[in-house]
Amino acid sequence: AQKITQTQPGMFVQEKEAVTLDCTYDTSDPSYGLFWYKQPSSGEMIFLIYQGSYDQQNATEGRYSLNFQKARKSANLVISASQLGDSAMYFCAINAGGTSYGKLTFGQGTILTVHP
């Protein structure tokens, strides 16, 4: 079974600053993928970034980057130059190989508030 732990229920950041949202994971599968999703107050789930377990480099998508530390089993999301529109709930998720491939397991989420 897979597990995601997000230890920060809420985070605050000043506009234009960078912020790191923590995520640790647990899986016994050697092949897995890590994902981050954003859920604004409107409720939709927006895919942000993906990191495969065999990827050598950290994933980046615009202002989002994933700090992947395999030995520590962590996959922190870094948002650079925060904007007011980044205020939302952020979920880390994992899927693993084998018969569970494709099945996403989500963490409890971190609420990010960006202050002007």
Partner 1 sequence: DAGVIQSPRHEVTEMGQEVTLRCKPISGHNSLFWYRQTMMRGLELLIYFNNNVPIDDSGMPEDRFSAKMPNASFSTLKIQPSEPRDSAVYFCASSLIYEQYFGPGTRLTVT
Which residues form the interface with partner 1 (CB under 8 A)?
33, 35, 37, 43-47, 50, 52, 91, 95, 99-100, 102-109
Q: How far is the CB of 110 from partner 1 (least distance, A)?
A: 12
Query: Kind of pairing, strands 110-115 and 10-14?
Result: parallel
**Which DSSP state fits 80?**
-
Nearest to partner 1 of 13, 93 (CB atom): 93
**In angstroms, rounded to a whole number, what is the distance separating the alpha carbons of residues 46 and 30?**
27
Cα separations (Å) of 33 from 2, 18, 94? 11, 24, 6
Q: List the structure tokens of 1.
A: 């079974």
Considering the complex, state which of residue 99 and residue 116 has its C-beta at the smaller distance from partner 1: 99
Choice between 60 and 108, CB closer to partner 1? 108
Q: Of 14 and 31, which CB lies nearer to partner 1 in the complex structure?
A: 31
> Smallest gap, in angstroms, from Cβ of residue 17 to partner 1?
27
CA–CA dist 93, 5 (Å, integer): 9
Residue 25 CB, nearest approach to partner 1 (Å): 15
Work out how close the CB of 50 gets to partner 1 at its nearest, in angstroms, rounded to a whole number: 5
| Bridge partners of residue 76, in order along the sequence | 67
